[in-house]
C-alpha cells in the first residue's frame, strides 16, 4: 500500500512546483510570451531501471525530470522499471520514433554497454546522456555523453554531522559492493567524521548487491545491536536502512535523495544528487544550439557541491546547533572549492600508506577513481 501514498506525495510536489511556476508566469507573462516564441520545443526521455518512487537512485533522477517542468519549452516522457535488456533498447527507440525525443537520459549504470552504445549508433542525431563516467573518447559514438556527481562530498558532510552527534563514537555504513565509487563514499564519510571527532570508527557491511532489502534490514539491526548510533548507506534505495534506523532509535544520514520523510526523528542530513540543476543546465545548453556532436557540450561532465551537482538535505531535527555549525563550515569550504578531502599522509585500515605526506588528491584526481582501500578508522574489508 505504500506506492499510492508516495504517488500522492509526488503529485503534491508537482502541484506545488506548477503552482509556483504559474505564479511566476502571471507576474512576467509579457516577458515570457516574448521569449517563448523564439524557443524551440525539445522532447527529453527519461528511463529508470526501478520504480521512480524508490527513495533512491531512480527517484533522484525522476525528481530531476520533474524539476525540468519549469522550462516551458521542454516536453518530457518517462518510463520506469525498464530492465537492462533489449527492453531498454526498444524503449529508447520508441521514445525517439513515437514521441519525437531528441535527448535521452537512460539513467541506470548498466544501460550503457551495450544498449546505449547500440542505439546511439542507429540514431546519430539524438543525444544520449548517461550517468556515470564510462565514455571513452574515440571509441564510443560522438552523440553519447557521461555526467556524474561527486556524491562523496555530500557523504563528507554526512560524516561531519555524524561525527559531531555520535555518543558511542561508532558509525555504521551499509554498502552494496566494494567498487571504487562506493569505497570513496565510505572513506569520505569517515574522513568527514574524523575531521570533527578523531575517535570515531565506521563499521562497514557489504550486502553484495544493489537491492537486497532483507540483508539491508539485517545489517541495520545488527549494527543497532552492536551499539552503533548513526547509520548511513550506499545501496540503490536507502529506504529500508533509514526506516530501520529510525525504528531502532538511531540517527541516520541519507543517500541519493532526501529520506527526511522516512526518519522524522533521527535524520541528520543526506548526500543528494541535484539532477534538477544538471538537467536544467543541459537543456538550456541544447536550447542554445550546443550539442555533444558539435562539441558545445563536453562528453564528460562532472561536478560536486560547488558545481551544484550535489546538495545536502536540509539539517534534520536530530542535529544539534553545534553539529549544524560544523556542517555549515565544511559546506562553505566545499562550495568555495577550498577543501581537499584526500590528502596525505593517509593510511588505509591495514596500516598501509595510500597517500604519502605532502600529496593532495582533489575532487577530480584520477587516482581516486580506482580507489581500492578503506581508510584508517573503517572497520571492514573489501575482500569480504
User: Among residues 299 and 306, whose Cβ is nearest to another protein?
Assistant: 299
User: Among residues 210 and 361, whose Cβ is nearest to another protein?
Assistant: 210
Residue 230 near residue 165 (C-beta atoms within 8 A): yes
Q: Which stretch binds another protein (CB under 8 A): 81-89, 226-234, 252-260, 303-311?
A: 81-89
User: Among residues 105 and 112, whose Cβ is nearest to another protein?
Assistant: 112
The contacts found for 118-125 with CB under 8 angstroms, 24 or more apart, are: 118/89, 119/89, 119/92, 119/93, 120/144, 122/93, 123/93, 123/96, 124/293, 125/293
User: Among residues 213 and 344, whose Cβ is nearest to another protein?
Assistant: 213
Q: Compute the least distance from the CB of residue 102 to another protein, in Å.
A: 15
User: Among residues 112 and 373, whose Cβ is nearest to another protein?
Assistant: 112
CA distance 20 to 13: 11
User: Among residues 89 and 229, whose Cβ is nearest to another protein?
Assistant: 89
- Decide: is 300 part of the binding site for another protein (CB under 8 A): no
Q: Which stretch binds another protein (CB under 8 A): 34-42, 84-92, 303-311, 343-351?
A: 84-92
- Decide: is 113 part of the binding site for another protein (CB under 8 A): yes
Burial class (CB in 10 A: 0-12, 13-18, 19+), 217: middle
User: Among residues 91 and 259, whose Cβ is nearest to another protein?
Assistant: 91
Count of CA atoms in the C-beta half-sphere (13 A) of 23: 5
Q: Compute the least distance from the CB of residue 3 to another protein, in Å.
A: 8
Instruction: Work out which of 1, 2, 3, 26 binds another protein, going by CB under 8 A.
Output: 3
CA distance 190 to 219: 18
- Decide: is 90 part of the binding site for another protein (CB under 8 A): yes
The C-alpha R_g of the chain, in whole angstroms, comes to 21
Residue 58 near residue 27 (C-beta atoms within 8 A): no
Binding map of another protein across residues 126-155, x = CB under 8 A, - = no contact: ------x-x---------------------
Sign of CA dihedral 245, 60, 135, 309: negative
- Decide: is 78 part of the binding site for another protein (CB under 8 A): yes
Instruction: Work out which of 44, 68, 74, 95 binds another protein, going by CB under 8 A.
Output: 95
CA distance 325 to 164: 10
Q: Which stretch binds another protein (CB under 8 A): 96-104, 250-258, 306-314, 338-346?
A: 96-104
Residue 68 near residue 76 (C-beta atoms within 8 A): yes
CB atoms closer than 10 angstroms to residue 213: 15
Q: Compute the least distance from the CB of residue 175 to another protein, in Å.
A: 16
Which residue is listed with cell 537543456? Answer: 283
- Decide: is 86 part of the binding site for another protein (CB under 8 A): yes
CA distance 211 to 219: 13
Instruction: Work out which of 6, 17, 73, 93 binds another protein, going by CB under 8 A.
Output: 93
DSSP 277-334: HHHHHHHHHHHTT--TTTTSS-SEEEE-TTTTSEEEPPPPTT--HHHHHHHHHHHHHH
Residues facing 301 on adjacent strands = 147
Q: Compute the least distance from the CB of residue 116 to another protein, in Å.
A: 10
Instruction: Work out which of 110, 213, 344, 380 binds another protein, going by CB under 8 A.
Output: 110
- Decide: is 98 part of the binding site for another protein (CB under 8 A): yes
User: Among residues 51 and 344, whose Cβ is nearest to another protein?
Assistant: 51
Sign of CA dihedral 247, 251, 255, 257: positive
Residue 60 near residue 273 (C-beta atoms within 8 A): yes
Binding map of another protein across residues 21-60, x = CB under 8 A, - = no contact: ------------------------------x---------
Residues facing 346 on adjacent strands = 355
Q: Which stretch binds another protein (CB under 8 A): 91-99, 218-226, 285-293, 312-320?
A: 91-99
Positions in the binding site for another protein (CB under 8 A) = 3, 7, 51, 77-87, 90-91, 93-95, 97-99, 109-110, 112-114, 122, 132, 134
Amino acid at each position: 500500500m505504500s506506492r499510492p501514498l508516495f504517488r500522492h506525495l509526488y503529485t503534491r510536489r508537482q502541484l506545488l512546483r506548477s503552482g509556483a511556476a504559474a505564479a511566476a508566469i502571471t507576474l512576467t507573462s509579457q516577458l515570457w510570451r516574448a521569449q517563448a516564441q523564439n524557443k524551440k520545443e525539445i522532447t527529453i526521455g527519461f528511463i529508470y531501471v526501478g520504480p521512480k518512487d524508490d527513495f533512491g537512485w531512480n527517484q533522484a533522477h525522476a525528481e530531476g525530470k520533474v524539476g525540468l517542468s519549469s522550462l516551458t519549452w521542454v516536453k518530457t516522457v518517462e518510463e520506469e522499471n525498464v530492465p537492462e535488456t533489449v527492453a531498454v533498447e526498444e524503449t529508447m527507440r520508441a521514445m525517439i520514433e513515437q514521441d519525437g525525443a531528441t535527448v535521452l537520459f537512460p539513467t541506470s549504470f548498466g544501460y550503457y554497454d551495450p544498449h546505449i552504445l547500440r542505439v546511439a549508433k542507429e540514431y546519430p542525431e539524438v543525444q544520449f546522456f548517461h550517468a556515470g563516467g564510462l565514455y571513452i573518447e574515440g571509441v564510443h559514438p560522438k552523440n553519447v555523453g557521461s555526467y556524474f556527481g561527486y556524491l562523496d562530498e555530500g557523504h563528507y558532510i554526512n560524516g561531519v554531522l555524524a561525527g559531531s552527534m555520535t555518543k558511542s563514537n561508532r558509525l555504521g555504513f551499509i554498502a552494496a559492493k566494494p567498487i571504487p565509487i562506493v569505497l570513496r563514499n565510505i572513506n569520505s564519510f569517515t574522513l568527514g567524521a574524523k575531521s570533527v571527532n578523531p575517535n570515531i570508527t565506521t563499521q562497514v557491511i557489504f550486502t553484495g548487491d544493489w537491492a537486497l532489502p532483507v540483508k539491508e534490514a539485517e545489517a541495520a539491526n545488527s549494527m543497532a545491536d552492536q551499539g552503533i548510533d548513526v547509520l548511513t548507506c550506499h545501496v540503490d534505495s536507502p529506504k529500508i536502512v533509514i526506516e530501520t534506523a529510525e525504528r531502532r532509535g538511531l540517527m541516520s544520514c541519507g543517500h541519493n535523495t532526501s529520506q527526511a520523510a522516512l526518519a522524522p526523528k533521527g535524520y541528520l542530513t543526506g548526500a543528494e544528487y541535484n539532477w534538477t540543476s544538471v538537467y536544467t543546465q543541459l537543456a538550456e545548453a541544447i536550447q542554445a544550439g550546443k550539442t555533444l556532436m558539435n562539441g558545445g557540450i563536453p562528453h564528460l561532465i562532472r561536478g560536486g557541491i560547488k558545481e551544484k551537482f550535489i546538495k545536502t538535505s536540509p539539517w534534520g531535527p536530530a542535529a544539534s546547533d553545534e553539529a549544524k555549525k560544523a556542517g555549515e563550515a565544511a559546506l562553505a569550504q566545499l562550495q568555495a572549492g577550498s577543501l581537499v578531502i584526500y590528502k596525505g599522509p593517509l593510511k588505509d585500515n591495514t596500516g598501509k600508506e595510500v597517500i604519502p605526506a605532502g600529496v593532495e588528491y582533489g575532487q577530480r584526481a584520477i587516482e581516486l577513481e580506482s580507489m581500492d582501500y578503506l581508510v584508517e578508522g573503517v572497520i571492514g574489508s573489501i575482500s569480504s
